[in-house]
Structure 1
């Protein structure tokens, strides 16, 4: 086992998903058996990174991707958290060992193939085999709830429509929306390229102009129905046109960093299993995150009306899921069959992700 082999593992692992392609990690090869992952979160400037947990989920997805990648080189992995505190900058030690009996994980070929599909999918239902494979991928610590009928998909689409209004009218979310898109791009190493956003070119040009200032956003939202077009294209139509929406629910409340890491591991296995099955997936985390804020009593905006809207949306979400305010929601996504997206987020080159 050599450092070059570990570099090859990292070159695959860097394709792990993260919110808005933030890639909240840097790597350090300590020796031929140990990679140190220096994680971070974006809670101080990204509204959606509630207490850093979405970043922590991404860290779990990275660790699982490292495990799958290592299997292709005949290596086993084990990881531990080597930092404490409130986990704004958690550090993970990942140890590697050769294993002559190691069989390459069936998901190995899905590491780079896995991507996001934000456009409408086919409404063909999941097969029993597909549904069970997604449930099995989550593991025993999580349940997977599906919303598949036209009625249920319509209810979820309505939830997404209303959640998107909160998202698009929240001043604290504006800097994220302004900075996350790389306009007129098919690929992006550190953001979401315009062509992968899921809107048509005319809507994209309007969005680009409007989002140059919060004043423009407010004017369009107030007088020109500025949220309608993006919500139709990004939330309503995709919400209806898919095979199913699925909600991943922890069977016990997450109480520490390790629990969020385990959720991230489950999410990545579900996503890569969907890819392996010929399906596409799109995370729909906004309703989950606003519910985290609402049920914790956390006012996330200087506009108090938005918190009240988030409370109502939480109740709507719980009614759809037949859940109580005390139940934990971990990950929400839609899944289905669609053509391969022509545009996608790329990743930083490995050299740019190395510590120092």
Structure 2
């Protein structure tokens, strides 16, 4: 094994998913069989990265992607992590070892094909084979709860409709939304390109203009029903038009950094499996995140009513999932059959990810 192989591994592994394409990692090569991943989180800038959890999940997805890529070179991986009590900047040491009997992981061809599909999908039901593959990919640490019938999808659509009002009227979320979209773009190396967001061109132009300032957003929301078009196009219709929604529930509540990282490993394996099965996936994570805030009694906004709304929606979510307030939720998404998106997030060039 040599440095060139490590660089090839990094080049493919950087396609791991991360919230809003933040890519919260940088790489350094320590030795011919030793890669160091310098993780960071975005909790101080991003409302949705509660206690760094979203970033830590992304770190796990990266580690799993490294493992899958390494298998194509006949290499096994072993990782350890060091972090302080807050785990804002965890450092992962990944060691590679040659295995003569190592075969390429069957998920390897799907690393770059895995994308987010934010537009409505077909309502074609999951096949028993697809369902079984998704459940098997989650492993023993996760329970996969399916919401597949029309009435269940309609209930989820209602949940997402009300949840989107919190998201779109929260001043602390505005800075995130304004920063994360690359307007008038088909591809983006470090954000979400406008054409992958999932709204029509007229709505996109209006959003671009309105999101120049919070004052404009507040005016449109209050007097001109400014949240209606994006909620219909980004939340309600996609929630109805899909095969199923999946709620991933950990077998035990995650408490430590490594718990969240291992959940991220499971998530990436499930997402790659979804892709292998000819399906697309869209994360629907904000209801889970607002539930984290509500159940931890952490106020996330200067607008007190939004926290109360989050508490109410947490009850709605729990009734839908038929569980209690102390049972952990990890990830929520929808899946279905659709044409491949013609617009997508790319990744920073490998050179910009090296330290």
Q: Distance in 2 between matches of 1:318 and 1:85?
A: 30
What's the CA shift for 1:124? 0.5
| SS at 1:172 equivalent | helix
Mapping of 1:211-250 within 5 angstroms? 211-250=211-250
Q: Distance in 2 between matches of 1:91 and 1:18?
A: 17
| SS at 1:29 equivalent | strand
Q: Distance in 2 between matches of 1:29 and 1:134?
A: 34
2:95 is aligned to 95
Q: Does 1:208 align with 2:187?
A: no
What's the CA shift for 1:168? 0.2
Q: Distance in 1 between matches of 2:86 and 2:177?
A: 27
What's the CA shift for 1:85? 2.5
TM-score, normalization by structure 1: 0.99
Q: Distance in 1 between matches of 2:87 and 2:327?
A: 24
Q: Does 1:152 align with 2:152?
A: yes
Q: Distance in 2 between matches of 1:241 and 1:270?
A: 21
What's the CA shift for 1:84? 2.7
Deviations 1:270-299, CA, capped at 9 Å, x for gaps = 100000011000000000000000000000
Deviations 1:321-345, CA, capped at 9 Å, x for gaps = 0010010000000000000000000
2:170 is aligned to 170
1:194 is aligned to 194
Mapping of 1:99-114 within 5 angstroms? 99-114=99-114
What's the CA shift for 1:108? 0.3
The root-mean-square deviation of aligned C-alpha atoms, in Å, is 0.5
What's the CA shift for 1:100? 1.1
Q: Distance in 1 between matches of 2:40 and 2:63?
A: 14
Deviations 1:176-198, CA, capped at 9 Å, x for gaps = 00111000000000000000000
Aligned residue pairs total 355
Q: Distance in 2 between matches of 1:83 and 1:176?
A: 26
Deviations 1:245-266, CA, capped at 9 Å, x for gaps = 0000000010100000011011
| SS at 1:173 equivalent | helix
2:20 is aligned to 20
1:57 is aligned to 57
Q: Distance in 2 between matches of 1:111 and 1:129?
A: 21
Q: Distance in 1 between matches of 2:82 and 2:130?
A: 37
Deviations 1:198-233, CA, capped at 9 Å, x for gaps = 000000000000000000000000000000000000
Q: Distance in 2 between matches of 1:200 and 1:100?
A: 52
Mapping of 1:170-319 within 5 angstroms? 170-319=170-319
| SS at 1:341 equivalent | coil
| SS at 2:8 equivalent | helix
What's the CA shift for 1:40? 0.3
* Long gaps (5+) in structure 1: none
| SS at 2:175 equivalent | helix
4+ long deviations beyond 2 Å: 82-85
Q: Distance in 2 between matches of 1:294 and 1:92?
A: 31
1:3 is aligned to 3
* Long gaps (5+) in structure 2: none
Mapping of 1:20-59 within 5 angstroms? 20-59=20-59
Q: Does 1:136 align with 2:136?
A: yes
